[in-house]
Amino acid sequence: MAEREPVTSQSGPLVLVVDDEPQVRRFLRAALEGNGYRVVETETGHAAITQAATRNPDIILLDLMLPDVDGFEVTRRIREWTTIPIIILSVRGRERDKVEALDLGADDYVTKPFGAPELLARVRVALRHRDRQIGGPPEASFSLGDLRVDLSTRQVSLGRRTLHLTPTEYNLLAVLIRHAGKVVTHRQLLTEAWGPAYTSQTQYLRVYMRQLRHKIEPEPTRPRFLITELGVGYRLKVE
């Protein structure tokens, strides 16, 4: 994939919008073009796969319910050859669909109906992750509010206080930092922190996440950083 110039309105990132509802496409086009993105639209899954290959978009917004092949299949097919960020457009109450799409390689999701600011935030996060993957060394430190994590020394501090995390807790936090701003499914977290043999141990994961939250959150019952996306996974909130 080619290196891209910083975002400008003339040659902004190219967004492939895949949705069979014309109203949704119209709204997405308006919102995206108004913010300096270029937009390509398609209605069907097959066209989406072709367009992804020929137009080489920077990001794909993908509805799961398509008239021909469903969004899962499109995700699977696109992931066979590229890591273009994919954001799923889904509806409330279909948490399992979201998890499935994310585990198939989608990067994030927004729940319909959504506002333009929310969508644009997700798109920005996804593009930022893509850029980081493409070039540059991994960042040496991460900070979020009072929370500061030195990734080279594995030091974690909240305000002035140094936090003592167990290796497991630190690993979990590191995974979340790597995906900061994006939702991380249980399976992804378990695979990256423990390895693929432990992907079904969701119940234990919740216990560890609670411990972690108790250490890094000033008010664990009203979390500011470590958000639980019920039925899907966790998200380290960045904005």
Partner 1 sequence: MVFGDGVAGGVFLITGSVPFTEVLLASPGGGGILPLPEERQNMLNRKRPDSDELLRRIEEEERRGVRGKLVIFFGASPGVGKTYGMLREAWEQKKNGRDVVVGIVETHGSPETDELLSGLEELPRCPVTHRGIEFAEFDLDLALKRRPGLLLVDELAHANVEGSRHPKRWQDVEELVDAGIDVFTTLNVQHLGSLNDVVAQVTGIEMRETVPDSIFQQAHEIRLVDLPPDELLERIGKGKVYVPEQARRAKDNFFRRGNLIALREMALRSTADRVDAQMRQYRREHGIKHSWPISDRVLVCLSWSPHSPPLIRAACRIALGLHARWFAAYVEIPSRVLSEQDRSQLLRNLRLAEELGATVATLTGENAADEIIRFAQERNVTKVVVGKPRFFSWKERLFGSFVEQITLKSGEIDVLVTGGQDGSSPPESEEASQRPWFKADRVLAYLAATGMVLVVSLVGWLLFGRSHPTAVVMLYLLGVMLIALTFAFDHKPSLTAAVLSVLAFDFFFVPPYYNFAVADLHHLTTFGVLFFVAVTVSGLTRRVRAQADTARERERWTTALYSLSRELSGTVVTESLVDIGARHIEEVFDCRVVLFTTDATGQPTLVRGVAEDNADESSQQSSIIGWVLQNGRAAGLATGTLPNARGLYLPLTGAHGRLGVLGAIPADRKRFDDSTQRRLLEAFASQVALALERTILADETRRARIDAESEEFRSALLGSVSHELRTPLAAMTGAASTLLADDERIAEPTRRELLQSISDESDRLNQLVGNLLDMSRLESGSTDTNREWHPLEDIVGSALNFMDQRLAGRQVKVQLPEELLLIRVDAVLIERALVHLLENAVEYTPADSAIEINARVGEGAVIVEVIDQGPGIPTEERDHIFDRFYRLPASRSRPGTGLGLSICRAILKAHNGRIWVESRTGGGSVFKLALPLEDVPDEIGKQGLPEVSSRNG
Total residues at interface with partner 1 (CB under 8 A): 41
Q: Pick the binder of partner 1 from 171, 182, 183, 187 (CB under 8 A).
A: 171
Concatenating the DSSP letter of every residue in 4-61 gives -PPP-SSSPPEEEEE-S-HHHHHHHHHHHHTTT-EEEEESSHHHHHHHHHHT--SEEE
Nearer to partner 1, 35 or 202 (CB): 202
Our measurement of the distance from residue 235's CA atom to the centroid of its chain's CA atoms, rounded to an integer in Å, reads 8
Structure tokens at 117: 């600011």
Least distance in angstroms from the C-beta of 154 to partner 1:
8
Least distance in angstroms from the C-beta of 196 to partner 1:
13
Give the per-residue contact string, 188-227, with partner 1 (x = CB under 8 A; - = no). --x--xx---x--xxxxxxxxxx--x-----xxxxx---x
Least distance in angstroms from the C-beta of 219 to partner 1:
8
In this structure, what are the phi and psi dihedrals at residue 182, rounded to the nearest 5 degrees? -100, 155
Nearer to partner 1, 105 or 220 (CB): 220
CB-CB contact of 109 with 98 (8 Å): yes
105 contacts partner 1 (rule: CB under 8 A)? no
By three-state DSSP, how is residue 67 classified? coil
By three-state DSSP, how is residue 229 classified? strand
Nearer to partner 1, 69 or 151 (CB): 151
One-letter amino acid for residue 87 of the chain: I
Q: Pick the binder of partner 1 from 31, 47, 121, 151 (CB under 8 A).
A: 151
CA distances (Å), 106 to each of 33, 73, 98, 156, in order? Answer: 23, 11, 9, 30
Q: Pick the binder of partner 1 from 93, 135, 136, 196 (CB under 8 A).
A: 93
Least distance in angstroms from the C-beta of 9 to partner 1:
24
Least distance in angstroms from the C-beta of 192 to partner 1:
9
Give the per-residue contact string, 108-127, with partner 1 (x = CB under 8 A; - = no). -----x-x------------
Cα end-to-end distance, the chain, whole Å: 28
Whole-angstrom distance, CA of residue 178 vs CA of residue 186: 15
Q: Which residues of this chain interact with partner 1, rule CB under 8 A? A: 92-93, 95, 113, 115, 151, 154, 166-168, 170-171, 173-175, 178, 190, 193-194, 198, 201-210, 213, 219-223, 227-231
